[in-house]
Amino acid sequence: MRAIDWNHLRAFHATAQTGSLSAAARQLGLTQPTLSRQVQALEADLGVPLFERFGRRLVLTQTGADLLEHIRSMGDAADSFMLAASGRVEDISGRVCISTTDTYCAYILPPILERIRVEAPRVSIALNATNEISNLHRREADIAIRHARPDRPGLVGEFVCETEAAFYASDGWIARNGMPKTLRELAGAHLIGFDDTERFCDHLNAIGIPMAAGDFRLVSDSSVAIWEMVRHGMGIAAMLCEIAERTAGVKRLLPQMPPISVPVWLVSHQELQSTPRIRLVQRILAEELARLSDR
């Protein structure tokens, strides 16, 4: 395969981000026929289709989606270079709404938001603390931090890292009840449940913890409230390891148990991908969240 033309990669990147040839052409300052030829040339060089064409609408093929994951970092680096070279970072302004779980809002995001304030002082951040999946199509949020790949048309997902969760209890709880030695010993009235107990039980049963919805004596739809109950010795709960490791007075149970894998995705609507403030905030989020898995 011959060397790939960078202009063809830029054309593909812009088309994938905007979802249409006309929008991508406007973004790059090209005519639509020119941009279309560049995308077709890249497909010919690679020998695979990157888009499925439904009338005027373009949908990434699986190969196209995989390639986009690789090229996005190149595009972000180029954008960062141009912003730094022109001194325009501080000129970026506007509101960005981030949707994520209440645990991320309380324990993970504050230092990351401080970096955003320093690097982009005119950008305003609104946090939507929810354990529900925000409807990005209705613009309830600009960027969502999720634990699954987006599966709806029009949404663009960036895989950031794979983090881990485990079960924890406080030192006081362990002193009163002893250290559990098996998964089955985690079951019972001491396990604190999430609000959707039926779904939560499905996860627990899948990893070998026999629980039914009626077994829980404490249930909450707030992960922060659950974690505070754990800290106060009221029971056992699962928590992301990077949060638990920052919390004094709690211990990981069954350290021999493989941790629960938790993927982290940044998701936004494809129409927002070319917006400077969205791209800047998403880049900082991606860099900082990726560091969590390295700690």
Q: Residue written as tokens 């196209």?
A: 64
Q: What is the pairing mode between strands 143-146 and 94-100?
A: parallel
Do the beta carbons of residue 4 and residue 50 sit within 8 Å? Answer: no
Amino acid at the residue 245:
E
Judged against a pLDDT cut of 50, whether residue 31 lies above it is answered with yes
Per-residue pLDDT tens for 93-122?
889 999 999 999 999 999 999 999 998 898
Look at residues 201, 205, 202 and name the one whose alpha carbon lies nearest to residue 216.
201
| Nearest by Cα to 94 from 128, 134, 142, 135 | 142
Core vs surface per residue 100-136: b (16+ CB within 10 A) or e: bbbbbbbbbbeebbeebeebbeebebebbbbeebbeb
Q: By mean pLDDT, which of 12-26, 126-140, 190-204, 223-237 is the weakest?
A: 126-140
- 3 state DSSP class of 256: coil
Q: What is the pLDDT of residues 72-101, one digit of tens each?
A: 667 666 655 554 444 455 568 889 999 999
Alpha carbon 181 to chain centroid distance? 33
* Residue 13 confidence (pLDDT): 86
- pLDDT digit string, tens, across residues 180-232: 998 888 888 799 998 788 888 888 888 889 998 888 899 998 999 999 999 99
The one-character DSSP state at 232 is T
> If we measure between CA atoms, which residue out of 106, 21, 134, 94 comes closest to residue 280?
94
| Radius of gyration of the CA atoms of the chain, in A | 23
**Pick from 263, 261, 240: nearest CA to 252:** 240
- For the full predicted model, state whether its pTM sits above 0.75: no
CA 198 to CA 244: how far, in whole Å? 25
Question: How far lies 191's CA from each of 77, 169, 173, 180, 253, in Å?
Answer: 45, 10, 12, 12, 12
- The residues that bridge with 167 in the sheet, in sequence order, are 238
- Domains in the chain, please, with CATH? 6-85 (1.10.10.10), 90-160+262-292 (3.40.190.10), 163-261 (3.40.190.10)
DSSP code of residue 2? P
Between CA 186 and CA 189 the distance in angstroms is 9
Site of tokens 């995989």: 66
